[in-house]
Chain A
Amino acid sequence: MTPLTPVITEHWDVPDLFTLDGYRRKGGYRALPKALAMDPDAIIGMVKETGLRGRGGAGFPTGLKWSFVPQNDGKPHYLVVNADESEPGACKDVPIMIANPHALIEGVIIASYAIRASHAFIYIRGEVPQAIRRVATAVREAEQAGLIGDNISGSGFSVRVTVHSGAGAYICGEETALLNSLEGLRGQPRLKPPFPATHGLYSLPTVVNNVETITNVPWIVNNGVDWFRQFGTGKSPGFKVFAVSGHVERPGIYEAPLGITMGELLEYAGGVRGGGPVKFWLPGGSSVPMLTADYLDTPLTYEAMVEAGSMLGTGTPMVFNNTISVVKSVTRWLEFYKHESCGKCTPCREGTYWITGLLEKFEAGHGTDPDMDLLNEVCGHIMGRSFCALGDAAATPFPAAVKYFRDEFQTATTVPVDVSFPPSAGYVFEGVAAR
C-alpha cells in the first residue's frame, strides 16, 4: 500500500498558514535565500534533474521548459503562472492558493530568478475571489517584507508580481490563449511555433507554468534532487496533490507519490459512496478518456495512464458509481466544450455543436445507429485537426465511453436516459424526487 505523503499540504491545518507569519513559522521562505545564493542556471539544472513534470495536464518537463528561454538576450523575460483551473474535475490549484498562497509566491520568486524574469504574472480565473484575494494579499505581504521588489535581500535580483483576474473562459487555461487574454485580447490560442519560450507575453520570452508545478519549487530547492526523486517513478517523479471527487465516502485532497493507484486513493477516501463498485472514473479531468474498475490497480503516472488508454491529466480523479449514466455524463461534458469553444477554428466550433446535438438525442432516448456512426465521424474530424487541445479534448469523451459502454448508447436509442438512470439515485443527499 503506497502511503500518503503530505508535502505541499503538510501544514494546511495551521490556522494562519495563508499569512506570511504562519508560513514562515512552518519553514516558509527558507528556500528563497538558498536559491538567490545559487547561479540561476544551477536552479534550472536542479529542476531538470528532479524530472519534475508540469502538473497542469500536459506533463511537460519543467526544467526543460525553463531551459528553452534564451539567456543573456537583453530582452525582458516573464513568468506567467497558469491559475485558470477550470477543467471539469480539476480542483487542486484553487485549494493550494486558498490554503498556502505563500508557497506559490516563494516558488514564483525562485522561478523568476532562475529564468531571469523581471515580472511575474499570476493569472487566476475570475470565479474564485477567495483564491484571488489570498494570493494577492500574500504578494502584498511579501512586498512589504522585501521578498518581492527591488534588490531582494541584497541579491541584486528584482521582480514584480502582478495578480490578474480572469473573467470566465476555460480556453484561457491553454497557455497561448492565456497570454492573449493577459494582453487584453480575446482568449483565443495562438499558432505554435513560435513557442512562448521565445515569443510569449508581448512576444517576449515567457515561461507558463501551472500553480502546483511552481509550488513544488521551494521544496526542491530546500531538500534537493535525491529527496525529490524518492517519490514516484523514474518517468513520473515526485508527489502529487490528488483531488478525489464524486461517489466516494470522503472526497477531498490526498497528497501521495505519483505511482499510487486509484484503488489505493479510493481506500483512503473511504471507498465508493454507499458501497458497490466503481462504474467508471477519470484520472484527471473530463479531457482524459474514462477508465473502468479494471484499471484501479494501474499506477497513476504519466506513462502508465497513457498505456492504459487514458492520461494522468491534472491528477484529479472523478469517481462515478452504478447510478450514473455514461450517456448523460458525456453529453454534459460536451455541452461544456461547446460553450467554451472559442470559435477560432472550424473543427472545434462546428464539431462541438454537432456532437452535442447528437448526444442530446441519445439523452432523450432518440439516438439512432447512424447517429453513432456520425458521432464517431465528427469526433474523428476534430481530433488532431483543431487549432488547440480544446478540440481534441472535446473529441475524447464519446469514443472512450463507447469503448466500455456501447450498450448504454444502444439503450438510449429507445429509452430516455433519465428513465434508465433515475437522477436522484446519484444524488449525495436524500429526499429529492426525480425530475
Chain B
Amino acid sequence: MEVTPEVRSQMSEIIDRYPNSRSALMPLLHLAQSIDDEVTPEAMEVIADALGLTTAEVAAVATFYTMYKRKPVGRHHIGVCTNTLCALLGGDAVYDAVSERLGAGHDQTDVDGTFWLERIECQAACTHAPVMTVDWEFMDNQTPASAVDIIDRLARGEQVQSTRGPVIRDFQATEHTLAFPVDGLAGEGGEADDIMLAGLTYAREHGMSAPAAPGGDA
C-alpha cells in the first residue's frame, strides 16, 4: 500500500470521525482494499502505526471479518447467495452456472484474476431471491442465464447497472465507498422498486391506508 499524502489525509479524516482512534480500524481496512485489491501485510503495518496498535492487533481484526481479503480479489467481486432461501429458490443453480463460467470455486478467482467468486451469506434481499452481487451492489432476481450474461458483459467491459444501485464500477471503488460513503452516487438506483412497493401498491389499489394522524397531519 503506497501511502501518498492524499492517503495520509484520508486516513486522518477517517480517524477524526471517532472519539477513540481504534474505532477507525475497520474503515481503514476498507480504505486499504480500495488502494490494493486486498489487505496486504504492509497495509496492516501502516494502519497499526497510524492507530498505535501492533500489527498482530490489526491482523486479528482483518482476519475475523470475511470482507477483508488477503489475496488479490481482481477487478470484480462476484457474490452469489447460497443461504437457504436464495439457494432453494434457484441460487444453487445460479452459483453453479457462474462457477462454471468463471472456472472458479468459492473464494477463488478466474484464471485471469479478474473475477473473484464467493458463496455469500444472506444479503438482506430475500424478497429479491435469487440474489447475486457484483462488487457488493445488488443484482436481484437472477437466473443462471442472466447471471452468466452479467459476467460476460463485465468481461467485455460493457456497462452493467445494479438493479438497486449505480452502474457497476469495480471492487476497489466499492471499497472506497465503504470508507467514504458520501460518494456522489446516492441518486443512482432510483426509488423503491416494485418488490419494495408490493404492499403499498396493493394498499393503494384497494383503498387501504393507515388511520389518519390527529389533526390531519401526516
Contacts and interface: CB of A to CB of B under 8 A. Distances in A.
B177 A4 contact: no
Contacts of A181: 26
B17 interface: yes
B209 A127 contact: no
Contacts of A226: 214
Contact of B165 (A119, A130, A242, A424): A130
Interface in A217-242: 222-224, 226-227, 230-231, 239, 242
A14 B200 CA distance: 12
A192 interface: no
A7 B203 CA distance: 11
Given A165-B179, A202-B19, A253-B196, A128 B89 contact: no
A195 interface: no
B181 A435 contact: no
A224 B211 CA distance: 12
A165 B89 contact: no
A251 B121 contact: no
Interface in B46-75: 51, 60-61, 64-68
B124 A93 contact: yes
Contact of A89 (B17, B85, B88, B166): B85
Interface residues of B, number: 86
A61 to B, nearest CB: 22
A164 B180 CA distance: 10
A3 interface: yes
B96 interface: yes
B129 interface: yes
B111 interface: no
Contacts of B96: 435
Contacts of A250: 198, 202
A6 B165 contact: no
A333 interface: yes
Contacts of A89: 85, 122, 126
Contact of B90 (A128, A184, A428): A428
Contact of B210 (A10, A88, A169): A10
Contact of A165 (B30, B123, B197, B206): B30
A332 B164 contact: no
Contact of B23 (A9, A90, A184, A239): A184
A279 to B, nearest CB: 11
A85 interface: yes
B210 A6 contact: yes
Interface in B170-199: 174, 177-179, 181-183, 185-187, 189-192, 194-199
A126 B79 CA distance: 13
B25 A184 contact: yes
A94 B137 CA distance: 13
Contacts of A262: none
Contacts of A168: 65-68
Contacts of A138: 186
B200 to A, nearest CB: 5
A318 B85 contact: yes
A361 to B, nearest CB: 18
Contact of B182 (A128, A136, A247): A136
Nearest to A432: B93
A6 B27 contact: no
A163 B210 contact: no
A94 B83 contact: no
Given A126-B67, A133-B181, A184-B22, A224 B130 contact: no
Contacts of B26: 164-167, 181, 184
Contacts of A95: 127, 192, 196
Given A164-B26, A166-B26, A128 B123 contact: yes
Contacts of B122: 86-90, 336
Nearest to A273: B89
Interface centre among A125, A184, A432 (most CB of B within 10 A): A184
B29 interface: yes
A245 B198 CA distance: 12
Contacts of B126: 88-91, 243, 245-246, 251, 316, 318
A102 B179 CA distance: 21
A37 interface: no
B98 interface: no
A307 interface: no
Contacts of A127: 67, 79, 120, 123-124, 133, 136
Given A26-B218, A99-B196, A244-B127, A18 B191 contact: yes
B24 interface: yes
A134 interface: yes
Contact of B213 (A227, A246, A328, A340): A227
B116 interface: no
B121 A88 contact: yes
Contacts of A185: 22, 61
Given A223-B214, A432-B90, A12 B196 contact: yes
Interface of A: 3-7, 9-10, 12-19, 26-27, 30, 76, 85-91, 93-95, 98-99, 119, 125-130, 132-138, 140, 162-170, 181-187, 202, 222-224, 226-227, 230-231, 239, 242-247, 250-256, 268-269, 286, 316, 318, 320, 324-325, 328-329, 332-333, 336, 339-340, 342, 423-424, 426-429, 432, 435
- Sorted nearest first, the 6 A-B pairs with minimum C-beta distance are A252-B198, A254-B199, A136-B181, A167-B65, A184-B25, A137-B186
Given A98-B192, A137-B186, A332-B87, 11 more contacts: A5-B209, A13-B192, A86-B121, A134-B186, A170-B121, A184-B22, A222-B217, A253-B192, A253-B199, A256-B199, A333-B83
20 contacts: A7-B210, A12-B196, A12-B200, A15-B191, A91-B125, A95-B127, A167-B29, A167-B67, A167-B68, A169-B64, A169-B65, A183-B22, A184-B26, A223-B217, A253-B195, A318-B85, A328-B88, A329-B84, A332-B88, A435-B96
